[in-house]
Amino acid sequence: MRLEYFQLIDRIVELKLADRKIRSEATVPAESTIFEGHFPGYPLMPGVLMIEAMAQTSGWLLVAANNFKRMPFLAAVKEAKFRNFVTPGQRLALSASLVHEGSGYAVTEAKIMVDGKLACDANLTFRITDFPNPAMHEQMREVAKRIEFPMGALADG
């Protein structure tokens, strides 16, 4: 996890397209400039970044569901609850399930577990569009390699 670069997922652990579910993992860095402000003397992973981590996990599920041909963009966050503090060095187990796939949008439920306890959860809505440009499509494929996205799970590999 590199907070400053919005790299909030280290690895896709499991993608079950048939069940419309995904799991990922990430380790909160021991040090980050973000902790200098959040908070001085008591570093906590910001809730907004936990939402982003859940959105990225959901996003990869949606990228897979759209066979890597379309791109999800976060549109709404509902019922987000931060149930426990998340601190530097902790290992996050993230998961998301696809609740509904509409025309040009999708809804997911996502959560983060830490040490077997629910740290946060939320319902997320995404707009699904064509990739805005080829460069972004290519960049997403590069990110997919870094996080071990299982390309083989897609319909056309």
Partner 1 sequence: MSSTFDTVANIIAETCDIPRDTIKPESHAIDDLGIDSLDFLDIAFAIDKAFGIKLPLEQWTQEVNDGKATTEQYFVLKNLSARIDELVAAKGA
So which residues are the catalytic ones?
38
Q: Which stretch binds partner 1 (CB under 8 A): 2-10, 18-26, 32-40, 98-106?
A: 98-106
Write out the two tokens for 86: 């998340």
Element (H, E) at 146: helix 134-146
- By the rule CB under 8 A, 79 interacts with partner 1: no
In contact, 106 and 70? CB cutoff 8 Å? no
In contact, 71 and 130? CB cutoff 8 Å? yes
- By the rule CB under 8 A, 105 interacts with partner 1: yes
- By the rule CB under 8 A, 131 interacts with partner 1: no
- By the rule CB under 8 A, 76 interacts with partner 1: yes
Residues ≥6 apart with Cβ < 8 Å to 121: 54, 79, 80, 81, 83, 109, 110, 111, 112
How far apart are CB 65 and partner 1 at their closest, in Å? Answer: 14
- By the rule CB under 8 A, 65 interacts with partner 1: no
How far apart are CB 46 and partner 1 at their closest, in Å? Answer: 24
Q: How many CB atoms lie within 10 A of CB 63?
A: 24
- By the rule CB under 8 A, 66 interacts with partner 1: no
Q: Which stretch binds partner 1 (CB under 8 A): 8-16, 40-48, 79-87, 103-111?
A: 103-111
Place of tokens 């549109």: 75
Residues that bind partner 1 (CB under 8 A): 75-76, 100-105, 107, 125, 127
